[in-house]
Amino acid sequence: MKIVVCMKQTPSGDSALRINAAENWIDLSDVDFETNEPDSYALEEALRLKDEHSAEVIVITAGTSNETKAIKEALAKGADRGILVEDDSLGGGADPRTTATALAAAIGRESPDLVLTGLQSDDAGFGQTGVVVAEQLGLPHATLIVELKTDGSSLDLKRELEAGWFQQLELPLPALLTIQSGINKPRYATLMGIKRARKKPLQRLTLADLDISVTPDVQLRRIYAPAKQKTGSLLTGTPAEQATQLLTKLREEKLI
């Protein structure tokens, strides 16, 4: 069984974030990075399946040439090999289809039995990349998975819905799943695992290697911090008059 896990690195939550000079993303020059937390749960599910089914686990990232942190951490935890699809257009602010196109091209060469992704990224938070990858690969897919079992030919899944409801479903393999955060408890890398990771293969691919080009659907033109405003208004009159004034103001400002 071959399992591919899509992962990425994101700015650490402890980093001081500043907007870059172009005002189209954050300044990454002095930012610390960490593995995108939702992807850690997808990796843990893959590693558990590896323990049960002697699977091969491949970790793949689409990003710039230095986005290897998540891959190296995954290799230290037990993944077998890593793939980085590198291009400047795949850096911070890339739209989901651009990222998915690069990932799908690399994943297609592996012909995996199962593809896992985290629910969303901690930086952009689109939550769309996984399902777009599935569409481009022509794979059946399911999102928000909170329980996963397989006999090697099909998947028995539990999917989280809204308002405390769940859905049981079965999918054939190969398939793609986006994993809900909290499904498991991600393991830590051991010292021996970190040493072994240094000898595990990390393949670097360019868009030219994959014979593809990407044209972003979405251009992030500007990001900025919310303006601080201290404004208020005093409602006068009887309680009924004040209520009418409040309702009018809410409607004018399109808050209701």
User: CA-based angle 129:9:51, to the nearest 5?
Assistant: 80
Contact 112, 55 (CB under 8 A): no
Tokens for 122? 């901690």
- Whether the predicted pLDDT of 231 surpasses 80: no
Q: Which of 233, 238, 239, 228 is nearest to 253 (CA)?
A: 233
Tokens for 175? 């398939």
Domains along the chain with CATH numbers: 2-205 (3.40.50.620)
From CA 132, how far away is CA 138, in angstroms rounded? 10
pLDDT digits (tens, 9 = 90+) for 205-219: 999 999 999 888 888
Residue pointed to by tokens 């989280």:
160
CB atoms < 10 A from the CB of 48, how many? Answer: 15
From CA 100, how far away is CA 134, in angstroms rounded? 9
Q: Is the peptide bond before 174 cis (omega within 30 degrees of 0)?
A: yes
From CA 141, how far away is CA 188, in angstroms rounded? 28
pLDDT digits (tens, 9 = 90+) for 164-199: 999 999 999 999 999 999 999 999 999 999 999 999
pLDDT digits (tens, 9 = 90+) for 90-144: 987 788 999 999 999 999 999 999 999 999 998 888 889 999 999 999 999 999 9
Report the DSSP beta bridge partners of residue 175. 114
- Give the predicted TM-score (pTM) of the model: 0.84
Report the DSSP beta bridge partners of residue 224. none
From CA 244, how far away is CA 238, in angstroms rounded? 10
